[in-house]
Chain A
Amino acid sequence: MNRRQAHEAAERRRALTIAAVSTGLVVAAIVLLVPLAPGWPAVRASFFDGAVFVQTFPTLLKAFLIDVMIFAWSVPLICALGLAVALARGARAPALFPLRIFGAVYVDIFRGVPVVLTIYLIGFGVPGLGLPRPWNSPYIWGTVALVLTYSAYIAEVLRSGIESIHASQRNAAICLGLNERDTMRYVILPQAVRRVVPANMNMLVALQKDVALLSFIGPVEILRQAGIYKSLLANFTPYVVAAVIFLAITVPATRYADHLLNKDRNARS
């Protein structure tokens, strides 16, 4: 070991010690101080009841599958609509001007209205037109509300990605004789999409959480099921169970997305 390596090893040991000590202090403070709060016994009883946790976990997990299902069929729809809106907003041909205006108005509206409100308005409003079964299902109209809202966000993210690709890339493609459509499809979009994957992953994690908002218009998914248990057992622990289940999905999902992104970056350099 040469002098520099010895120095770096010492630095590492020192950093590790400091990190361990400071983490220990923070954890100790929480473990020791929180129970000293006057309301702690009551909170522990109603939020962290082990028996209730075990009793409600299986049913809540099953209810969570509904969230996963809604999420799973929403994502492809959101990607397709988001891409369509992003391309419409970038359309330059005069004939497509109405499309461009429509894209801008669409994005303004659905980014500007709270998700819950969109879900209420569409989820209760459209079936209220007197649609026959099964077309009045809250699953359908709840999904529509989520798709409309999240497509607006994804479209904006994609558009920023498209605009971030340097004009020289477009010029190079045009100079090879490619038309506008092929240039967008084979040169601009693939680069733009890669560039905005992290931002879109964040949107998808947010979507996974917002699926729970559909509980307001009917589907007995995890949040609603937890609410039922809460009323039944007069205990808030089911909500904590729901939170744990959400975390078990969203944290690995974001980590995996980061991993994919790094792998892709490493493969090309």
Chain B
Amino acid sequence: MPGPSVERSVADGADGGAGPRRGADAPRRGPAPPGGSAGRDTTDRSALDVGTTAKLSLRSVQKAFGDNAVLRGIHMDVAVGEMICLIGASGSGKSTLLRCINQLESIDEGAVLLDGQDISEPGLDLGPVRRRIGIVFQSYNLFPHMSALENVLLAPRRVLRRDSTAEAEALFDRFGLAEHMRKYPDQLSGGQQQRVAVIRALAMQPEIMLFDEITAALDPELVGEVLNVLRQLRAEGMTMILATHEMGFARELADSVCFMDGGVIVEQGPPERIFTAPKVARTQAFLRSVLR
């Protein structure tokens, strides 16, 4: 384990058990490991967590691009219906972590468990895995030669072999885009494109959604409409992991906030505690710089 793990303060065992404000409407999280939290050795923790009922578990995930170690031992458990926000400076590994979860990047060491199944195993057929994990990117990445509706229908048609036009239209309706369904991406605003990208991912009925700084490329006045979509998903109990710079949003909705720096999770806990009483010096410094 690299040095920084010493000051890790993984707190979700004790004080992150259930988001304090969401205890009622959020589904219960999987059983948290027993015992105290602060300063526990990472190896112990992974040993204890084996066999939990977490929807998604990361075990000592490591990833390097050449000599550049981007992820240096990530542990995380995500329960059904839980929303986790990853915060941290650019280059801290947030995006890479998300791309390692849906296996867009293969990991070097460790394991990614989905419902207890190791999906990071080399040679595994990733098609079935990826359709269970939706991802939305910062740059929308809609297919420019298809209308918004065709963008949404392509994957259900080709992968699930069924026509989901009615469901897709219902999704467009729900996210206020019914009148834009037949338009091409170039004819939509950034916020509209990003909402279509969310719908496109949802059309595959994923069990988990990953959001990679999906508001970072938007004009400030368009951020709100995209965040509202996330609020809606949150209310419906979607399991979500967000890499985000929207601190207010993370504080408002997340069950748990992870501060990442240098490829490790430096501090994790309920948003109230992370934002008001961060324990680690690096978290304090980061929050000071972004919240000002």
Taking CB atoms, residues of chain A closer than 8 Å to B135 are 175
Chain B, interface size: which category? 20 to 34
Contact, CB under 8 Å: B187 / A174: no
Interface class of chain A by DSSP: helix
Chain A, interface size: which category? 20 to 34
Taking CB atoms, residues of chain B closer than 8 Å to A177 are 127-128, 130-131, 155, 159, 204
A9-17, A37-45, A146-154, A178-186 - interface stretch: A178-186
Contact, CB under 8 Å: A191 / B204: no
Interface of chain A residues 35 through 57 with chain B (CB within 8 A): none
Contact, CB under 8 Å: B158 / A171: no
Taking CB atoms, residues of chain B closer than 8 Å to A187 are 143, 154
| Contact A178 to B159, CB < 8 A, known contacts A169-B141, A172-B143 | yes
Contact with A along B105-139 (1 / 0, CB 8 A): 00000000000000000000001101100110101
A237 to B123, CA, bound (A): 70
> Does B91 belong to the interface (CB within 8 Å)?
no
- When the two chains form the complex, which single residue of B144, B154, B187 contacts A176, counting CB atoms closer than 8 Å? B154
Contact, CB under 8 Å: B204 / A268: no
Interface of chain A residues 158 through 206 with chain B (CB within 8 A): 168-169, 171-179, 182, 186-187, 190-191, 194
Contact with A along B125-169 (1 / 0, CB 8 A): 001101100110101011111000000001100110000000000
> Does B102 belong to the interface (CB within 8 Å)?
yes
The smallest beta-carbon distance between A86 and chain B, in angstroms, is 18
The smallest beta-carbon distance between B103 and chain A, in angstroms, is 9
Interface of chain A residues 189 through 225 with chain B (CB within 8 A): 190-191, 194
> Does A269 belong to the interface (CB within 8 Å)?
yes
A269 to B184, CA, bound (A): 7
Taking CB atoms, residues of chain A closer than 8 Å to B128 are 177
Taking CB atoms, residues of chain B closer than 8 Å to A190 are 145
Contact, CB under 8 Å: B137 / A168: yes
> Does B59 belong to the interface (CB within 8 Å)?
no
The smallest beta-carbon distance between A170 and chain B, in angstroms, is 10
Contact, CB under 8 Å: A175 / B159: no
Taking CB atoms, residues of chain B closer than 8 Å to A182 are 158-159
Contact, CB under 8 Å: A174 / B204: no
The smallest beta-carbon distance between B158 and chain A, in angstroms, is 5
Taking CB atoms, residues of chain B closer than 8 Å to A174 are 104, 130
Interface of chain B residues 210 through 227 with chain A (CB within 8 A): none
Most chain A CB within 10 A, of B130, B134, B155, B184, is at B155
Taking CB atoms, residues of chain B closer than 8 Å to A267 are 184
Contact, CB under 8 Å: B144 / A191: yes
The closest CB in chain B to the CB of A182 belongs to B158
Contact with B along A210-252 (1 / 0, CB 8 A): 0000000000000000000000000000000000000000000
- Using CB atoms and an 8 Å cutoff, list the residues of chain A in contact with chain B: 168-169, 171-179, 182, 186-187, 190-191, 194, 267-269
Pairs across A and B, CB under 8 Å, 14 listed: A168-B141, A175-B130, A175-B135, A176-B130, A176-B154, A176-B159, A176-B200, A176-B201, A177-B128, A187-B143, A191-B145, A267-B184, A268-B184, A268-B186
